[in-house]
Homo-oligomer: A and B are copies of this chain.
Amino acid sequence: MFVRGNARRSLSLVVLLFVCLLPFAKAQTDPLPSWNDTSPKQTIISFMQRVTQEGSPDFVPVDQRIATFDNDGTLWVEQPMYTQLAFVIARVHALAPKHPAWKTTQPFKGVLEGDMKAVEATGEKGLVQLMAATHAGMSVDDFQKIVSDWLATAQHPRFKRLYTECVYQPMLELLAYFRANGFKTYIVSGGGIEFMRPWTERVYGIPPEQVVGSSIKTQFEMVNGQPVLMRLPEINFIDDKEGKPVGINQYIGRRPIAAFGNSDGDQQMLEWTTAGSGPRLALLVHHTDAVREYAYDRTSTFGRLDKALDEARAKGWIVVDMKNDWKTIFPPQP
């Protein structure tokens, strides 16, 4: 079959063989080049060796290799505010000409005038109004286009690059390393599921079906004989804190064996992950680098890390010291 095949077939067999052998070649190189050779990297690599080595008492079959990653502050920047909040503000400005009453009505007035204290004063009711005005009342397809269009040009105020470029290079390497070892990588974020799905595959290599997040309700409707999913101004699910294990169970239906976060919103996900039997990995990114990124933890408005930090230290979860454990923060400017 090999000897007598025609040239095209021989070529495709060689390509095929090369693809098959690629994992062997890759295993020789450093899978985490942006990580310093400190304790977090060593613990991660040791974990991976144990769960992937057949015959090891800690071996985990491929179908059970599930790893979940928070997004805001774990995979991309969440300061000076969550990117989705920057999107809300931008949408209010963009839509304001069609809503003249917003000039004199909170919480919209506050957003338009940059008076975030006035916005905060409207409490949960105000937030729901902002969400309804910017996230609901259009089809799922239309919303995805609005998100994609905004992200295509909106820049981070400090780093002057696209928000989708304000992602952590060491975490991109971690995602690739886990996938190369047979893991399914999931996002499990308090952020909006439909706000993430349009770009997570391109940026993180995580397809839409592996994104878990908060959501509003949608409704199936026939519009001019065409089926449409409309977004309703009603909360469906909050995928944060106690909601993260609920979301993991609802969407994935298995307990992860590795989980990655950076704030108190991830505490229950890490508890749920590590409470299973067999080898477990839990990691918190601690933002300690005011020069290259930001330094914040116990008192931050966004991504507060307080109780989870204490629990991490008590339980031996990995705590990444961004300043000391990461060689670089962001990928090279494209």
A interface residue numbers (CB < 8 A to B): 16-17, 19-21, 63, 66, 140, 184, 193-194, 197, 201, 207-209, 211, 215, 218-220, 226-227, 229, 236, 242-243, 245-246, 249-254, 268, 271-272, 275
Copies of this chain, tallied across the complex: 2
In Å, the complex CA distance between A141 and B272 comes to 13
Min CB distance A216 to B, Å, is 11
Contact indicator B249/A229 (Cβ below 8 Å)? yes
Contact indicator B63/A251 (Cβ below 8 Å)? no
Contact A275/B227 with A17-B20, A220-B245, A246-B219 known, Cβ cut-off 8 Å: yes
Contact A245/B268 with A16-B20, A208-B252, A250-B218 known, Cβ cut-off 8 Å: no
In Å, the complex CA distance between A108 and B222 comes to 40
Contact indicator B184/A209 (Cβ below 8 Å)? yes
Chain B, Cβ-Cβ closest to A186? B209
In Å, the complex CA distance between A208 and B246 comes to 15
Contacts of A218 in B (CB 8 A): 246, 249-250
In Å, the complex CA distance between A28 and B250 comes to 40
Contact indicator B251/A251 (Cβ below 8 Å)? yes
